[in-house]
Structure 1
Amino acid sequence: MYDTILLPTDGSEATTDAAAHAFSHAERYDATIHVLSVVELSSGLGTAGRDEEKLDRRKRERTATAEQLVEEHAPEGVDATVAVEFGSPTRVITEYATEIGADLAVMSTRARGGAGRVIFGSVTEQVIQPGDTPVLAVQR
């Protein structure tokens, strides 16, 4: 049913819950899992003349966190790859899902209501709305 599963991670504890589901599905369906971490380019990292050292450090940190997630949760025999990309999380996740032909994305979400939801939204919700990839949202 699933051949390629995408697991976006921001390194949070909520992602750990989503990882358990993602790796369980990967094992059950003999699917490859892609763990994707997105380094959001904010004004603190600038656009022109970005501080390459800061970007490199953030990429190394995100890579280590994603690799640790694989080490701790991937059952033996499950193929997993790690990628770190730069940009807007919603855009990067949806484009990456299309690029790899993901059959399923497994994402964490926090239960947020009222003004918090309106103001901040949710990357998971933003990926679900326009995307062609089915999303399993794991609520924390």
Structure 2
Amino acid sequence: MYDDILIPTDGSETIDETLAHALPIAEDNDATVHGLYVVDSRITAAASDETGPDLEQSLEEEGRDAVATVTDRASERDLETAGDVRKGTPSKTILEYADERGIDLIVIGTRGKSAREKVTSLGSVSERVVDNASIPVFVVRDAGRTA
């Protein structure tokens, strides 16, 4: 049923819970697991000319680490993996990636904002993905969430 499953990540700890749901689905379907981190272009565009390049480099490094968490955990279960770090608006870039790669299911966590995103309060990426996706989206709610 699902050949390719996309797991977007922002590098936060909510990925553990998201993977706990996504990886069994991938195993049951012998699906390829795609990890994706989006460097939010709105954050880098707001940075000064002096700090922008360092910020972008830092976010790209964070992204590579975050994607490696997804692909490493999937590889431990002998699943095929793909990973990417892209620049753009997170929800739009997630949906573009899904379309380009023929993704069958997106598994995304809620309330997974990184420290930088908490400062800027850019809104709910998962909500925008759900609202605009043409494929199934499995939303994993953060167990630590109180509201």
Normalised by the size of structure 2, how large is the TM-score?
Answer: 0.78
How far off is 1:101 after superposition? Answer: 0.7
**Tell me, which stretches of 5 or more residues in structure 1 are unaligned?**
111-118
How far off is 1:13 after superposition? Answer: 1.1
Q: Identity, % of aligned pairs?
A: 35
How far off is 1:90 after superposition? Answer: 0.8
Normalised by the size of structure 1, how large is the TM-score?
Answer: 0.82
Across the aligned residues of Structure 1 and Structure 2, the Cα RMSD in angstroms comes to 2.3
Measured against aligned partners, the alpha-carbon deviations of 1:67-120 in whole angstroms (never above 9, x if no partner) come to: 03332454432011110011110110111111111100000013xxxxxxxx86
- State the partner residue of 1:115: none
**Cα–Cα, structure 1 residues 74 and 23, in superposed 2: closer, same or farther, change >3 Å?**
farther
Distance 2:26 2:6 in 1: 10
Does residue 1:135 correspond to 2:137, yes or no? yes
Distance 1:105 1:130 in 2: 12
Q: Is the 8 A contact 2:33 2:71 kept in 1?
A: no
Distance 1:44 1:30 in 2: 37
Query: How many pairs are equivalent?
Result: 132
State the 4+ residue runs in structure 1 displaced beyond 6 angstroms: 47-50
